[in-house]
Chains A and B, each alone.
With several copies, the nearest count.
Chain A
Amino acid sequence: MTSFDTPAALPLAQRGTQLLRTALGPFVALVLVVGVFAVADNLQEDGGHFATLKNAQNVFVHSATVAVAALGMTMIIISGGIDLSAGTTMALCAIVLAWFLREGYPPSVAVTAGLGTGCLAGFVNGTLISLLRVVPFIVTLGTMTIYLGLGKMISHSTMVRPLPAQIPAWMHELLSPRVQQEWMVFPPGVWLLLALAVTVSAMLRYTVFGRHVFAIGSNESTARLCGIHVPFTRIAVYTIAGFFVGVAGLYQFARLTIGDPTSGTGKELPVIAAVVIGGGSLSGGRGSIVGTLTGALIMQVISSGCTSLKQPNHIQEIIVGVIIVAAVTIDQIRQRRLAP
């Protein structure tokens, strides 16, 4: 019991290293990436555009859609699941929203319908996984193409284009990199994202529900043994995640001002990548919201940095790939080092 003699002091230190491990790991990678690009940009002749507020606004705005969907994906991944349908659900939500606007419903109704679609899609995913007891990868691989098909069905396989007058001004401003009130620094959509992130983070850490999410991800049979209602928890996780995908659909619509049935295809990969770069483990039980946000930002910073440095897309792709692997490797090494 030598090590247990200072029970009051230790938990704090413990929590410190815990934070360091789960969140700061990718954060260090972010700072590094930003630093490297800022230096390289300033060295080039007509540079100096990278480390600017304007560019920072861009980076936040561009990563917001992926990041907000990744909040829900973090919960899913912590619970030991995955959601490949996140991309097409996002597009489906945007289409539903656009459809309601085009048909002349008020924006509040349209937004509710869009978010509701996300929740419903998530609910269906969760229910299928729980009832059929098929692995999440398969269920969501199936619903991925189903939701894509539904989106095309609603949109008659084309764009749903509400008239400009049908789109409220706040929606235009939601993710416009040009902020109306200068003191806001970032557009409302970015602040909303941060508010949602804080909420989810707190929920995961400080609520019974959050503990149960970690429990079923870490060991499902233990969770069952402890009387945790696994199907209920899982359905709730997917439904909440669906809500965030709905918000991502709103974000996407706010930027595109059209509903495009194919706009979500392939978007699940950056969403999942954000979670995993941020320290989430696909075998469940590990992941953090701070890490996920950092992960989403890292990818966008690379993209924006490559534009600054006038690098072609294929160089950017190679760099993104290398950094995904490197970030996770470094995180891994740090964890091994820190492990008691």
Chain B
Amino acid sequence: DRAGESASSLRTDAHSGNKTLRIAVIPKGTTHVFWKSVHAGALKAAQELGRVEIQWKGALLENDREGQINVVQDFVAQAVDGIVLAPLDSTALVPAVVQAREAGIPTVIFDSGLADESVTVSYVATDNYNGGAIAAREIGNRLDGKGNVILLRYNVGSESTEQRERGFLETMRKEFPGIKMLSDDQYSGTTPLEAQNKALELCNQFGDKLDGFFSVCEPNTMGVLGALEQEGLAGKVKFVGFDPGPQLVQALADKKIHGLVLQDPVAMGYESVKTLVAHLRGEKVQKRIPTGEIMATPENMNDPQIKKLLDPEQAN
């Protein structure tokens, strides 16, 4: 522990001169808009700070934990000055982060947590459990506490969405005992198309008694929206999703979606880089930095604060 700290302070001395800091930012995937916004936030921080270079690289395959470990290790070999990482797995990435630290490279974690927080500088994220909880309350309130609801899970082993799923189910059970879960064990898979096929099959089976639907992330929400539209259920079923996108925002305006839980990806990227650079420059940083989560509804979607989160900046 101490050895790692002294190493990093050594580097800080070395880099307090006029050399550019090279910061590697490693998202979970590269294709979703969410990560584009994180990238934008990171670039914004770099620009504000000056003499900071962002190296953006995700694993080649989405959800490839081994691939993400490879990327971290590659950056360690590249001797970057610091790493900002959204770990695909809470335990699998720990050794890689430890290796980085042993090589004198500090890591800031964002979006999803790491089992061992002692090896990281800071954790910048949404409270995903709470995100799931506010989704449960939105659906519960809109259904007046009774009805049949489906939860479509995302993918096995994704920590952040599992938190949302847990937050949703526990809040439902606790606060809305009158609501019955029709299905809460199906996984959508990672692409919108897989989600759509899954959702269509679920609609086909439960369509006549379905009252509410919660989908836990963006591709998942896209797929469910498509399915509901095709089944003619859009608007009738109280549907809450997670994360925005142009179609989803449009659907929100059309009242086909009744709520979108919003995170602040730009802030995530921005805060992560800021925190890491502050640490590299020898400042003391907070161990946990929440970036907030908020419910956008057809009613509040034109509030300026929410409007900004519905269409966050993106890097290209």
Contacts of A152 in B (CB 8 A): 30-31, 156
Q: How far is the CA of A138 from the CA of B67 in the complex (A)?
A: 23
Whose C-beta in chain A lies nearest to the C-beta of B202? A307
Q: Please pick, from B70, B102, B103, B191, the residue contacting A62 in the complex, using a CB distance under 8 A.
A: B70
Complex Cα–Cα for A174 and B38 (A): 35
**B186 at interface (Cβ–Cβ under 8 A)?**
yes
- A56 to chain B: closest residue by CB: B77
Q: Check: A222 CB closer than 8 A to any chain B CB.
A: no
**A: contact size bracket:** 35 or more
List the one stretch of A19-27, A200-208, A251-259 in contact with chain B.
Answer: A251-259
Instruction: State the Cβ distance, B198 to closest chain A Cβ, in Å.
Output: 8
Kindly specify which of B52-60, B140-148, B266-274 makes contact with the partner chain: B52-60
- CB pair B156–A158 under 8 Å, yes or no, is yes
Pairwise interchain contact B77-A52, C-beta atoms closer than 8 A: yes
Q: Which of A10-18, A108-116, A309-317 contacts B (4 or more CB under 8 A)?
A: A309-317
User: Chain B residues near A310 (CB, 8 Å)?
Assistant: 55
The answer to whether A263 and B193 touch across the interface, beta carbons within 8 angstroms, is: yes
Q: Which of the residues A46, A157, A255 comes within 8 Å of B156, measured between beta carbons? A: A157
Please indicate the chain A residues that have their CB under 8 angstroms from the CB of B60 in the complex: 303, 313, 316-317
Say yes or no: is B17 at the interface (Cβ < 8 Å to chain A).
no
| CB of B72 to closest CB in A, whole Å | 10
Decide if B66 touches A49 in the complex (CB within 8 Å).
no
Which residues of chain A from 31 to 57 have a CB within 8 Å of any chain B CB? Answer: 46, 49, 52, 54-55, 57
Residue of A nearest to B19 (CB): A46
Quick check: A261 and B78 within 8 Å, CB to CB?
no
CA distance A316 to B71 in the complex (A): 13
Interface residues in A150-174 by Cβ distance below 8 A to B read: 152, 155-159, 161, 163-164, 172
Residue B303 at the chain A interface, CB threshold 8 Å = no
| B4-12, B106-114, B124-132, B244-252 - interface stretch | B244-252
Say whether A334 faces chain B, with CB atoms less than 8 Å apart. Answer: no
Q: Is B200 close to A, CB under 8 A?
A: yes
Q: A46-B22, A307-B71 are in contact. Are A313 and B30 (CB under 8 A)?
A: yes
A256 to B250, CA, bound (A): 15
CB distance from B141 to the nearest CB of A (A): 28
Residues 227-253 of chain A, each 1 if its beta carbon lies under 8 Å from chain B, else 0: 000000000000000000000000010
- Given A55-B204, A176-B95, A304-B201 in contact, is the A260-B250 Cβ separation under 8 Å? no
Return chain A residues, CB-CB under 8 Å to B247: 161, 164, 257-258
Contact (Cβ within 8 A) B65 A58: no
Q: Are B70 and A178 in contact (CB under 8 A)?
A: no
Judge if B89 is at the interface, Cβ distance under 8 Å.
yes
B55 / chain A contacts, CB cutoff of 8 Å: 310
Kindly state whether residue B230 has any CB partner on chain A within 8 Å.
yes
Complex: how many Å from CA A336 to CA B187? Answer: 41
Across the interface, which residues of A come within 8 angstroms of B245, CB to CB? 159, 161
Contact A307 B246 (CB under 8 A): no
Q: Roughly how many angstroms separate A179 CA and B69 CA in the complex, as a whole number?
A: 17
A161 close to B246 (CB less than 8 A): yes
Contact in complex: A303, B204 (CB < 8 Å): no
Known: A58-B77, A178-B99. A256 touches B31 (CB 8 A): no
Q: Is the CB of A58 within 8 A of B89?
A: no
Q: Are B157 and A176 touching (Cβ within 8 A)? A: no
> Is there contact, CB below 8 Å, between A307 and B57?
yes
B48 within 8 A of A: no
Interface flag for A88 (CB, 8 Å)? no
A262 adjacent to chain B (CB < 8 Å): yes
Given A158-B36, A159-B33, A258-B92, A308 and B78 touching (CB < 8 A)? yes
- Chain B residues with Cβ under 8 A from A257's Cβ? 91-92, 94-95, 226, 247
Q: Judge whether B291 is part of the interface by a CB distance below 8 angstroms.
A: no
> Given known contacts A58-B77, A260-B157, A313-B186, is B191 in contact with A157 (CB within 8 Å)?
no
Flag whether A65 is at the interface (Cβ < 8 A): yes
B32 touches A158 (CB 8 A): yes
**Cα(A308)–Cα(B224), bound, Å:** 18
Specify which chain A residues have a CB less than 8 angstroms from the CB of B283 in the assembled complex: none
| Cβ-neighbour of A65 out of B22, B66, B76, B78 (below 8 A) | B66
Bound-state Cα–Cα, A156 to B32, Å: 11
Q: Which residue of B lies closest to A261 (CB)?
A: B31
In the assembled complex, the CB of B123 is this many whole angstroms from the nearest CB of chain A, namely: 19
Which B residues lie within 8 Å of A308 (CB)? 78, 201, 205
Rounded to whole Å, the gap between the CB of A217 and the closest CB of chain B is 31
Residues in A whose Cβ lies below 8 Å from that of B250: 163-164
State whether B191 touches A163 (Cβ < 8 A): no
Given the complex of chains A and B, what is the CA–CA distance between A308 and B55 in angstroms?
A: 10
- A310 and B201 CA atoms in complex are apart in Å by 10
List chain B residues, Cβ under 8 A from A255: 66, 69, 92, 95, 193, 196, 226
**Whole-angstrom CA separation of A303 from B75 in the bound complex:** 12
Known: A157-B187, A161-B245, A303-B60. A58 touches B200 (CB 8 A): yes
B49 at the interface (CB under 8 A from A): no
Complex CA–CA separation, A262 to B73 (angstroms): 22
A263→B57 CA distance, assembly (Å): 20
Task: Give 29 CB contacts A-B under 8 Å.
Answer: A49-B77, A54-B204, A55-B78, A58-B204, A62-B200, A157-B30, A159-B33, A159-B89, A159-B156, A177-B76, A178-B231, A178-B232, A252-B193, A255-B95, A256-B89, A256-B192, A256-B196, A258-B92, A260-B92, A260-B192, A263-B191, A263-B192, A265-B61, A304-B77, A307-B198, A307-B204, A308-B205, A313-B30, A313-B58
Sample of 9 more A-B contacts, CB < 8 Å, known A58-B77, A159-B33, A163-B246: A49-B204, A152-B156, A159-B156, A177-B200, A256-B222, A258-B92, A263-B64, A307-B78, A312-B185
- A-binding residues in B (CB < 8 A): 20, 22, 30-33, 35-36, 55-58, 60-66, 69-71, 73-79, 89, 91-92, 94-95, 99, 102-103, 155-157, 185-187, 191-193, 196-198, 200-202, 204-205, 222, 226, 230-232, 245-247, 250, 314, 316
